[in-house]
């Protein structure tokens, strides 16, 4: 059966629509705000505000993830999701007010509120899947969520950029769009079937420090789950690191125009979607850790090839002047760069989907939402570290292609560590080649 067989089903379709629209809305607003800052705030302060906004969106995952995990384990998940989506509508109304009064600081505060809402949605998003899907459908469900999320990021980023650029009415268009999408997300959430609470008797601890520490200690007790979480967090480090370099790589290495940055993001997102799709096809619907080594090897291989390209003939800005998309794809080096980006995304799908599925399959059912909350904390921490690491490399004068080389080598060490920690990854990898084809 097709991977998309789950979309029409009540146990998955409304949930998929809810999470897709949530990710779409986040990125419409984020990109519109970043562009607004870039055009309204002068000089160095613009860069400071953009980085501040990015940090404030991630900060709630550190503060609220442990509380979100407890709430989602204690209460019925579909109800929790509906309340979170209703709050999103209110937040988007405040966003519209911010655009109307044209107050950047107010809009940055709204972005923090959106990050908070996303921090509460995360544990419910992944912990409800194993309750609604059979084990044979769990990998397909995670593959669709992975595809949908990256497609939503891509479309949301493009939509936000297009709408805010509309002459005279850009802010109004963004305001209308984010409120409409939030309302649609709430409508979809009404169709999500109820899911039995994991631990109704749980006493909620509102101290984020003690609860986060306790969750982290609990995660370490299940080695497969803990290493899977570290693997997912490393992928977010790897992906965040790459995506953050696209603008500078386009400008300084390829000497290209802004449309090439969008093309790169598109290629990366398409790759993630294709990798997630074929992940389920190759594994035969099994929760298969054997795909993780394939994905990890591919990440290093194609990242290293980007280093080898080094911009090719594009290194000389006089060759084409300002490089356009048409000129990029007309040359072998340009096609090679695009292919590498698609394959990095493709291998990322192979890498991350089985890890999410392993967490849901091997994690303690009564603790599942808190496991996802702990995963979100690690993800946020690794993304922050990716930004710090990139800044350190830039400070030491490392070129963007050199940064691609370094991240590809680091990924090899992470891969070796995961194989040593969980030999099952390698055993299942070899098992892929011994499996009999399904009838």
d(CA 317, CA 136): 53
How does residue 18 score in pLDDT terms, banded at 50, 70 and 90? Answer: very high
Confidence of residue 1 (pLDDT cuts 50, 70, 90): very low
pTM, entire model: 0.78
- Residue 357: the pLDDT is 81
Whether the predicted pLDDT of 419 surpasses 60: yes
Output the six-digit token pair for 91. Answer: 């937040």
Instruction: Give the mean model confidence (pLDDT) for residues 261-268.
Output: 84
For the chain, helix (H) and strand (E) counts, in that order, are: 16, 0
Q: Which range, 133-137, 253-257, 400-404, is most confident?
A: 400-404
The Cα 91–Cα 179 span in angstroms is: 9
CA–CA distance, 386 with 205 (Å, rounded to integer):
31
- Cβ neighbours of 277 (radius 10 Å): 21
Q: Which of 430, 238, 269, 233 minimizes the C-alpha distance to 346?
A: 269
Model confidence at 362, in pLDDT bands (50, 70, 90)?
A: confident
Confidence band (pLDDT; 50, 70, 90) for 436? very low
Q: How far is CA 343 from the centre of its chain?
A: 17
pLDDT of residue 45: 66
Query: What does the CA dihedral 153, 275, 429, 434 come to, rounded to 10 degrees?
Result: 150
Q: What percent of the chain has pLDDT over 90?
A: 26
The candidate with the shortest Cα–Cα distance to 254, out of 315, 195, 200, 198, is: 315
Looking at residue 61, its pLDDT comes to 85
Residues 340, 345: Cα–Cα separation, whole Å = 9
Enumerate residues 6+ apart whose C-beta is below 8 A from 69. 123, 215, 369, 370, 371, 372, 373, 374
Task: Give the percent of the chain with pLDDT over 70.
Answer: 89
Q: Count Cα atoms within 13 angstroms, Cβ side, for 15.
A: 29
Q: What mean pLDDT comes out for the span 55-82? A: 87
The residue ranges of DSSP E strands in 61-112, in sequence order, are none
Could you give the domains of the chain?
Answer: 1-206 (1.20.1250.20), 218-432 (1.20.1250.20)
Q: What is the mean pLDDT of residues 65-80?
A: 88
């Amino acid at each position: 059966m097709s991977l998309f067989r789950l979309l029409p089903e009540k146990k998955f379709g409304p949930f998929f629509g809810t999470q897709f629209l949530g990710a779409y809305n986040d990125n419409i607003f984020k990109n519109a705000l970043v562009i607004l800052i870039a055009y309204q705030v002068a000089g160095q302060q613009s860069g400071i505000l953009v980085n501040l906004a990015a940090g404030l969106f991630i900060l709630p995952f550190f503060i609220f993830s442990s509380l979100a995990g407890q709430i989602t384990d204690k209460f019925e998940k579909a109800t929790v999701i509906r309340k979170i989506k209703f709050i999103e509508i209110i937040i988007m109304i405040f966003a519209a007010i911010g655009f109307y009064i044209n107050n950047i600081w107010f809009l940055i505060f709204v972005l923090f509120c959106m990050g908070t809402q996303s921090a509460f949605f995360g544990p419910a998003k992944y912990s409800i899947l194993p309750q609604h899907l059979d084990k044979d459908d769990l990998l397909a469900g995670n593959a669709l969520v992975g595809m949908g999320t990256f497609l939503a990021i891509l479309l949301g980023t493009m939509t936000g950029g297009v709408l805010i650029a509309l002459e005279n009415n850009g802010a109004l268009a963004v305001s209308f769009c984010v409120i409409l999408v939030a309302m649609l997300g709430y409508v979809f959430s009404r169709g999500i079937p109820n899911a039995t609470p994991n631990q109704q008797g749980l006493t909620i601890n509102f101290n984020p420090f003690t609860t986060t520490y306790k969750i982290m200690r609990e995660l370490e007790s299940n080695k497969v789950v803990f290493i899977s979480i570290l693997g997912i967090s490393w992928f977010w480090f790897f992906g965040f690191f790459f995506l953050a370099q696209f603008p500078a790589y386009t400008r300084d290495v390829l000497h290209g125009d802004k449309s090439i940055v969008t093309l790169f993001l598109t290629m990366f997102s398409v790759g993630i979607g294709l990798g997630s799709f074929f992940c389920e096809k190759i594994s035969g619907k099994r929760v298969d850790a054997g795909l993780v080594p394939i994905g990890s090897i591919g990440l290093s291989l194609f990242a290293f090839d980007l280093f080898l390209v080094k911009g090719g003939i594009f290194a000389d800005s006089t060759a084409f002047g300002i490089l356009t998309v048409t000129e990029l794809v007309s040359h072998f080096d340009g096609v090679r760069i695009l292919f590498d980006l698609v394959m990095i995304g493709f291998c990322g799908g192979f890498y991350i989907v089985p890890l999410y599925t392993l967490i849901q399959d091997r994690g303690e059912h009564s603790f599942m939402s808190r496991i996802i909350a702990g995963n979100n904390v690690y993800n946020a921490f690794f993304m922050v570290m990716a930004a710090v690491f990139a800044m350190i490399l830039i400070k030491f004068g490392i070129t963007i292609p050199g940064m691609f080389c370094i991240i590809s080598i680091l990924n090899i060490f992470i891969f070796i560590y995961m194989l040593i920690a969980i030999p099952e990854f390698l055993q299942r990898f070899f098992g892929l080649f011994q499996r009999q084809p399904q009838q």
